[in-house]
Amino acid sequence: MFRIKVPRYWRHKDFRYRLNAWKCNHCGEVHFFKPLVCRRCRLREFNKVMLPETGKLIAYTIVRSPPCGFEEQTPYIIGFIELEDGTRILSQITDCYPEELKLGMKVEVTFRRVREDDPDKIIAYGYKFRPAI
């Protein structure tokens, strides 16, 4: 059975809950989790930024053979989203059937259960995107 790494998930909660990311002070590269060095310019100074809550869907796939921990939600949609500031993010798309998907459609962030199939019964909450209301 899949086991959620509670400390690791918890350390990333700022991003998973609120899309709080880290932006390199030098080159502007956005990192979802706080890095030691910037992957683009290798400098070490970052500012915390809140990513936009809306964007557009630029690619997607339907997952029918899921990894452990996602069986109950199958089939589900994974989308590649371009946020309003140009940041690109991979996310599950919820509140949406595959036949409703359109490339370029406006999506917005929401807060959902991501995984819960865990022997320790911890629930992993985090962001997903849905068609904009």
> Which positions touch another protein (CB under 8 A)?
13, 17-18, 72-73, 94-95, 97, 110-114, 123, 125, 128, 133
38 vs 81 by CB, closer to another protein: 81
Residue 133 CB, shortest distance to another protein, in Å, is 5
Q: Which residues of 14-32 are buried (b: 16+ CB within 10 A; e: fewer)?
A: bbbeebbbbbbeeeebbbb
Residue 111 CB, shortest distance to another protein, in Å, is 4
Report which residue type is found at 16.
Answer: R
Residue 95 CB, shortest distance to another protein, in Å, is 5
**Helices and strands in the chain: count of H runs, count of E runs:** 2, 8
106 vs 112 by CB, closer to another protein: 112
Cβ–Cβ under 8 Å, residues 81 and 99: no
36 vs 99 by CB, closer to another protein: 99
27 vs 74 by CB, closer to another protein: 74
Sheet holding 20-24, edge to edge: 30-31, 20-24, 46-50
Residue 103 CB, shortest distance to another protein, in Å, is 21
* Residue length of the chain: 133
